[in-house]
Structure 1
C-alpha cells in the first residue's frame, strides 16, 4: 500500500522524494507538491501510533510449540493466561 501525501498549501498530491529513519517509530518524509503552480517542498513525520493486534512474533517459542500440539480448548486456556501488553 502506497502512502498518499497531500500538500498542506494547495491540497494536491505530493511525492515523497526521500526519507530518513529518526527512530524505530518515526520516519521523516521529504515531500514535493506535484502541482506546478504550487511547488511547495516540505517535511512530514510518519510515526507509529499503537497496536491493534499483537504480533505473533511476540509469542514465546515454548508457547507456540505448546499451541501447535494442543486442542482448541487447551489453546483457549493458554491464551486466557497470557498477559498481552
Structure 2
C-alpha cells in the first residue's frame, strides 16, 4: 500500500480480528513527516485452490463414520478403479 499523500509504504500496527475471515487492519505510513493513519478492512472472499490438509481431514472424517462393510465396499471400489 502506498500513501495517497506522500507515496510512503504502509506499516501494519494492529490487527483486530472480527471473524476467521474478516479483520480490521490499523495502518500508518512510514514517512514520519506525513504519518497518515487509516483502518483497512481485510476479507477472505473465496478459495482458489483448496488445502490438501482440509481434503485429508474430510476423507478421514468420512471413513471414521463408515461401518466396516462400507469401508470394505469403498476399498473394493478403489482397487477396481483405474488410476488416470
TM-score of the superposition, structure 1-length normalised?
A: 0.60
Aligned partner of 2:27 in structure 1 is: 31
Give the number of aligned pairs: 67
- Structure with greater Cα Rg: 2
Superposed structure 1 runs of 4+ greater than 4 Å apart: 73-76
Residue 40 (str. 1) matches residue 40 (str. 2): no
Q: String of CA shifts for 1:27-69, please: whole Å, max 9, x gaps.
A: 111111111221101111111021111122143212xxx79xx
Higher helix content, 1 or 2: 2
Aligned partner of 1:81 in structure 2 is: none
Structure 1 segments unaligned to the other structure (5+ residues)? 77-85
1:54–1:9: structure 2 CA closer, same or farther, 3 Å change rule? Answer: same
TM-score of the superposition, structure 2-length normalised?
A: 0.60
Query: In 1, Cα distance between the equivalents of 2:18 and 2:27?
Result: 16
Query: In 2, Cα distance between the equivalents of 1:35 and 1:24?
Result: 31
Aligned partner of 1:83 in structure 2 is: none
Q: String of CA shifts for 1:11-34, please: whole Å, max 9, x gaps.
A: 210111111101121111111111
1:25–1:75: structure 2 CA closer, same or farther, 3 Å change rule? Answer: farther
Structure 2 segments unaligned to the other structure (5+ residues)? 64-73
